[in-house]
Amino acid sequence: MASGYPPSMLSRVSFVLGKLHLRCLERESGELGALGIDVKQHAVLSVLADEGPMTQQELGQRLGIDRTTIVTVVDGLDRAGLLERRRSPTDRRAHLLTLTPAGRHTQQQGQHRVADAERALLGTLDETERRTLIDLLSRALDGR
């Protein structure tokens, strides 16, 4: 029995994923906190690193974060000098969020720390099992 939880609860996807989610956030928060950022801020930096400049609205949609929250997250990253708002060359009313060199460096360091946290969290699984777990969860998330 996993960590002493009742078998009736371990058969529930919501219970198992919820407990794993909390543990994952706790580990990632500790690792990313050492860099002065939180999990949502790292997610923003990662999307910008992967996909390039975009508007705040596009970023919120990509991450499934509501308008109020994305404003707070972006403002914090802007104040920290990890991203900047630049006027869009195609729409002068819009601003594109762009990583600064410090933001790119922080994102890369965070990526390594998150990977370490995931390896520690899923330490009983080998690399193939971890990849399979992520693939299965991603497919479930897509509703396939």
Q: Which residues of 118-128 are buried (b: 16+ CB within 10 A; e: fewer)?
A: beebbeeeeee
CATH class of 38-142: mainly alpha
Check residue 26 and give its pLDDT.
Answer: 94
The residue ranges of every structural domain in the chain are 38-142
With a cut of 50, which residues of the chain have pLDDT below it?
1
Check residue 144 and give its pLDDT.
Answer: 54
Residue 84 bridge partners (DSSP): 98
Check residue 90 and give its pLDDT.
Answer: 85
Question: Following DSSP, what letter does each residue of the chain receive, concatenated?
Answer: -GGG--HHHHT-HHHHHHHHHHHHHHHHHHHHHTTT--HHHHHHHHHHHHH--B-HHHHHHHHT--HHHHHHHHHHHHHTTSEEEEE-SS-TT-EEEEE-HHHHHHHHHHHHHHHHHHHHHTTTS-HHHHHHHHHHHHHHHHT-
Q: Widest CA span of the chain, in angstroms? A: 59
Check residue 94 and give its pLDDT.
Answer: 84
- Cβ neighbours for 6, distance < 8 A, ≥ 6 positions apart: none
Check residue 1 and give its pLDDT.
Answer: 45
CA distance 28 to 115: 9
